Amino acid sequence: MDQISDEDWDVMKAMISTQIDSTPTDVTVESLRKRGSLECIAQQIKRGDDNPSARLQAWYLAMLEIEVTSKPLGLQKINYLFNHHAKEGLKSFVLDTTMTQTPADADDDEWKRRSIVANLEGKPNLSVVERQQLWQ
């Protein structure tokens, strides 16, 4: 994988900062600190600073941390994935790369049907774009 340039990494870090600034009002910086989220994000930024070849992954993990701590739907989705895998006794796990909102008119069965678990079974080597296309 190509390394992310220093200039692009600066843009990515600014995106992380902007995402933190745009969290819902009930998610404060102090609450992120108490949950360990700020420490996790800082570790990922340091990882990207120290390892240019890991910048994309570090950015994604930092953005994911913000997403699941600031949007209840993101955490619900991860909880569903975990419970599905635990119930099925699956030994591998593919994390959804698109933290999207459920349409207001979707019922639980539709949400589960469209779950990344169902869409990605047996397809472990898909790119981020291919995974996002499956989600649609």
pLDDT in tens, 20-54: 888 887 888 888 889 899 999 999 999 999 999 99
How confident is the model at residue 108, as a pLDDT? 57
Vertex 94 angle, CA 10 and 104, to 5°:
85
pLDDT, greater one: 32 or 95: 32
Give pLDDT, residue 97: 45
Residue with tokens 């790119």: 127
DSSP letter, residue 83: H
Mean pLDDT of the chain: 75
Angle between helix 55-70 and 72-88 (nearest 10) = 100
62 and 109 in contact (C-beta within 8 Å)?
A: no
Q: Which residues contact 62 (CB under 8 A, 6 or more apart)?
A: 16, 40, 41, 44, 45
Q: How confident is the model at residue 77 (pLDDT cuts 50, 70, 90)?
A: confident
